[in-house]
Amino acid sequence: MAAHDYATIEPTSFDVVICGTGLPESVLAAACAAAGKTVLHVDPNPFYGSLYASVPLPSLLPSFLSPGDASPVPRLSPPTSDSHTVVDLHRRNIYSEVETSGAAPEPSSRFTVDLVGPRVLYCADEAVDLLLRSGGSHHVEVKSVEGGSLLYWEGQLYPVPVSQQDVFNFNDAATLNRKEKLTEKNVLNRFFKLVKAHIAAAGEDGEGEASDKISEEDLDLPFVEYLKKQQLPPKMRAVVLYAIALADYDQDADCCEKLLTTREGIQTIALYSSSIGRFANAKGAFIYPMYGHGELPQAFCRCAAVKGALYVLQMPVSALLMDEERKNCLGARLTSGQDILCQQLILDPSYKVPILDAPSDGSDSNLLRKVARGICIISKSVKQDSSNLQIVFPPKSLEEQQIAAIRVLQLGSNLAVCPPGMFMVYLSTPCADTSTGKQCIKKAIDALFAPMASDYLEDHLEETSENNEDFKPTVIWSCVYVQEITEGTSSSYLLSCPTPDEHLDYRSILDSSKKLFADICPNEEFLPKNSAPVYADDDSDSAE
């Protein structure tokens, strides 16, 4: 757009200016607006969601190729004050090593792709609570991941416990495979019984006995050591560590990137357990937004708008307005050329945050955390009669060099992300080396799916013969890429939000967002319960 095509924004001064409508930025907009702040929320894109968006498949590659450097444009009017020092901003691309294969079925616009996949919501986690408290739940519909989770072990897929009865039924074991030895069943049951008693004893309801609590010494142990102490065999440890406690890195490695403590593992198991049965229409622990995760930031943006936040899309921030000493940020210059004053500026992580005292040359880019991701369109479900399900590849389950778990999420047409008869599949694994990360994703794809033959005909997609049910699903189209991970940062002059991370849920992203909010509003509650508008059909007991 030419500079003269942009509308003038009124007023020209706000408490908070936020650039980018990703989930952290949108949650912060809703929280700041609920706290009584005046908020201007702009986005360089013509759609909501930024790095957390759900986009039509034809728009996927353009999303990877942008943003590029955003050169500042001449301002339309003189600066609001001669005392401003203008510091140009540029945007960066957090995606690299993008590699596609195959051709998407037409019309490709019927496929909606998450930039943050694989990702789910626990029924009982804070993201859901925030949606309920803020009123955002009235702007998003979710469905259960009804197929549960599968563990890849020694070349086979085994079901992971998916219901309260499965997890804590001690007469008929919550097992991976009915052929497991009875002794292994009993060991797993005994462990789950121990955890259930600890959760009850440590919970607010005080239903359990204090003697049932796991000792502080054991809670501080590495979780893998505690599981060995409880005599869980390797496969059972893999279930607990990687499918339920969601450890990412090899917990048996001599030098683990992130060693899970028993305390952390039990906390996630407690969240998993409390998620099961929270909503009457959600069978398992996890739910997923209809139309993709891009619906979540849009829901929070609507909540912010109800509280008075002003929204302008296709409006990048091109520069910072600093004081003469370049110590304080006084506002932002928009691409339109208009200067906006504010007390606090928040940028999405696609912006390069300038280090004003020492220019950055990007020499530390090799220290950035990364996550390798994959997206596939497949011809049939991995598990018969299940549309939405998860698969976990524990570390070293595919090759000795696999140092981290690979997480897979399959989604069907009942979530309105693809046409009937097709399935979207997302894969991810944290990695330090891009080549190794992409190799792990490709190996997981090869383990689960069959490649599309050169003579593959479109009518084969409609085959439903039961004689075919033992064959692997066919990959019709795939994309593998690498994404940088950066944390949320706070400085004396601006805040920068976190990128999507390598985790399956939003807990760490929301924790970072809450810390940023505390910097902006140190004496305010983060999205209090009374911040939601009142709806006549309010129903907090439904997942939809």
Reported as a single tens digit per residue, the pLDDT across 324-336 is 877 888 999 999 9
Judged against a pLDDT cut of 90, whether residue 168 lies above it is answered with: no
Condensed to tens digits (0 to 9), the pLDDT of residues 340-362 reads 999 999 999 999 877 654 444 44
Domain 164-275 class, CATH top level? mainly alpha
Taking each helix axis from N to C end, the angle separating 262-275 and 182-202, rounded to the nearest 10 degrees, works out to 90
pLDDT at position 64: 82
Distance CA 272, CA 275 (A): 5
pLDDT category of residue 180 using cuts at 50, 70 and 90: low
Indicate the average pLDDT of the chain.
Answer: 85
With a cut of 90, say whether residue 363 has pLDDT above it: no
Among residues of the chain, what percentage have pLDDT more than 70?
81
Average pLDDT over residues 300-317: 95
State the number of CA atoms in the 13 A half-sphere of 501 facing the CB: 17
Place 286 in a pLDDT band, splitting at 50, 70 and 90. Answer: very high
pLDDT of 161 above 80: no
Most confident of the following: 78-82, 350-354, 508-512: 508-512
Higher pLDDT, 466 or 5: 5
Q: What is the DSSP letter of 242?
A: I
Q: What is the pLDDT of residues 379-406, one digit of tens each?
A: 999 998 889 999 999 999 999 889 999 9
Report yes or no on whether pTM surpasses 0.75.
yes
pLDDT value of residue 507 = 94
Instruction: Report which of residues 141 and 469 the model is more confident about.
Output: 141
- Is 3-93+294-359+488-524 assigned to CATH 3.50.50.60? yes
Output 481 or 147, whichever has higher pLDDT: 481
pLDDT of 458 higher than 60: no
Average pLDDT, stretch 5-13? Answer: 88
Q: Which residue has the tokens 């790095």?
A: 51
* 8 CB-near residues (< 8 Å, 6+ apart): 336, 338
Long-range contacts formed by 134-137: CB under 8 A, 24+ apart: 134/30, 134/34, 134/300, 134/303, 134/527, 134/531, 134/532, 135/303, 135/306, 135/531, 135/532, 135/533, 135/535, 136/30, 136/296, 136/299, 136/300, 136/302, 136/303, 137/299, 137/540
pLDDT score of 428: 98
- pLDDT for 123 beyond 80: yes
The pLDDT of 37-50, averaged and rounded, is 95
CATH of region 108-119+366-484:
3.30.519.10
- 321 within 8 A of 469, measured Cβ to Cβ: no
Domain ranges of the chain: 3-93+294-359+488-524, 108-119+366-484, 164-275
Measured between alpha carbons, how far is 20 from 39 in angstroms, rounded to an integer?
13
Q: How far apart are CA 328 and CA 331, in angstroms?
A: 9
What is the structure's pLDDT at 150? Answer: 94
